[in-house]
Amino acid sequence: MSVVLVTGASTGIGNLTVKELAAAGHTVYASMRDPEGRNRARAGELLALAERDHTDLRVVELDVRSQESADAAVQTVLAEAGQLDVVVHNAGHLALGYTEAFTAEEVADMFDVNAISVQRVNRAALPHLRARRSGTLLYVGSTTTVSVPPFLGPYVASKFAFDALAQVTSYEVSQFGIETVIVMPGAFTVGTSHFANASGARDEAVSAAYAELDPLVDGYGEATEGLFEPGVDAHPVSVAREITRILALPVGEKPFRSVIDFTRSNVDEVNTVNRASSADFLTRMGMGSLLEVKR
């Protein structure tokens, strides 16, 4: 069993994931902002669950906007558990609105939460993983980097950056025995607070100029549900279970990407072509070895 740190574990996929991983026998650190304050109830719920089910599920404070917080969280894990085997990059935020209406500062903030946060946590965790020459970085990405849906401009752009950081980092850390997995959930309309807590654009004047498109934005959730096959249980617990399945696989047998998508967006097919193209490019550069984890 592994020692796992999960970011953004107070709600949604992160919350479901820490529960599944703990039930599977891992030592799990559910990280979140302010577990003694704003997230006190959520932290308490996880600790109570751990006590009830006799699992090793713990809570650690981690604000992904702060390098100091990321460093402190990793040091807490190492001090308490003695090691860190897996980092699950899950923290993120959704914004829904007209791209032009988001200020540059709002877009930068979205990148900070959804992409730059990964760099902070990796910088905190990778020195330990490199020293051990083992470990797994698992990124909870998004199928939006393939389907590129409308009205999610800053979010989709930030997830592209998230995915690029994951992929390029994977080449480099592979030579230190560190595996990379990018799990790509599709859209979910239940089981997360993504849509309920989504940000809007601040520039109301620009948003008003797009008013004729408002019915499309207002019906976004319903339109998404229309992509699901009738009778399919499109619930994000499926993502948590896939993460748990992947982390149980032996070294060298974990997939680079895994898609959990009920919208039938042909993401697997695109991933196959992209991966083959990247592999060809690196191989012709004489760097094909970066595609394989060095034992």
| pLDDT tens-digit readout, 161-214 | 999 999 999 999 999 999 999 999 998 877 666 666 778 899 999 999 999 999
Q: Give the 3-state secondary structure of residue 137.
A: strand
What is the strand order of the sheet 3-6 is part of?
Answer: 57-61, 27-32, 3-6, 86-89, 135-140, 178-185, 257-260
Q: Give the 3-state secondary structure of residue 60.
A: strand
CA distance 253 to 102: 42
What's the pLDDT score for residue 234?
82
Residue 232 has pLDDT above 70, yes or no: yes
What's the pLDDT score for residue 260?
95
Residue 229 has pLDDT above 90, yes or no: no
CA distance 279 to 276: 5
Name the residue among 15, 56, 55, 13 with its Cα closest to residue 35. Answer: 15
What's the pLDDT score for residue 47?
97
- Residue 273 has a CB neighbour count (10 Å cut-off) of 9
Q: Is the pTM of this model over 0.85?
A: yes
What's the pLDDT score for residue 195?
64
For residue 17, what are the contacts with CB-CB under 8 A and spacing of at least 6?
6, 9, 88, 90, 239, 240, 243, 244
pLDDT band of 228, cuts 50, 70, 90: confident
Contact 128, 74 (CB under 8 A): yes
What average pLDDT does this structure show over 223-235?
84
pLDDT band of 154, cuts 50, 70, 90: very high
What's the pLDDT score for residue 194?
61
Indicate the class that CATH gives domain 3-291: alpha beta
Cα 45 from chain centroid? 22
Residue 57 has pLDDT above 90, yes or no: yes
What average pLDDT does this structure show over 104-126?
97
pLDDT band of 224, cuts 50, 70, 90: confident
Tokens of 181: 């997995």
Residue 89 has pLDDT above 90, yes or no: yes
Name the residue among 26, 29, 132 with its Cα closest to residue 79. Answer: 29
What average pLDDT does this structure show over 121-147?
97
pLDDT digits (tens, 9 = 90+) for 8-51: 999 999 999 999 999 999 999 999 999 999 999 999 999 999 99
What's the pLDDT score for residue 192?
65
CA angle 77-82-88, nearest 5°?
45
pLDDT digits (tens, 9 = 90+) for 265-293: 999 999 999 999 999 999 999 999 999 99
Q: Which of 116-125, 133-142, 226-235 has the lowest mean pLDDT?
A: 226-235
pLDDT digits (tens, 9 = 90+) for 60-84: 999 999 999 999 999 999 999 999 9
CA distance 208 to 106: 18
CA angle 67-34-241, nearest 5°?
85
- Average pLDDT score over the chain: 95
Domain boundaries, the chain: 3-291
CA angle 247-12-4, nearest 5°?
30
For residue 68, what are the contacts with CB-CB under 8 A and spacing of at least 6?
none
Phi and psi, residue 81, nearest 5°: -100, -15
Contact 58, 29 (CB under 8 A): yes
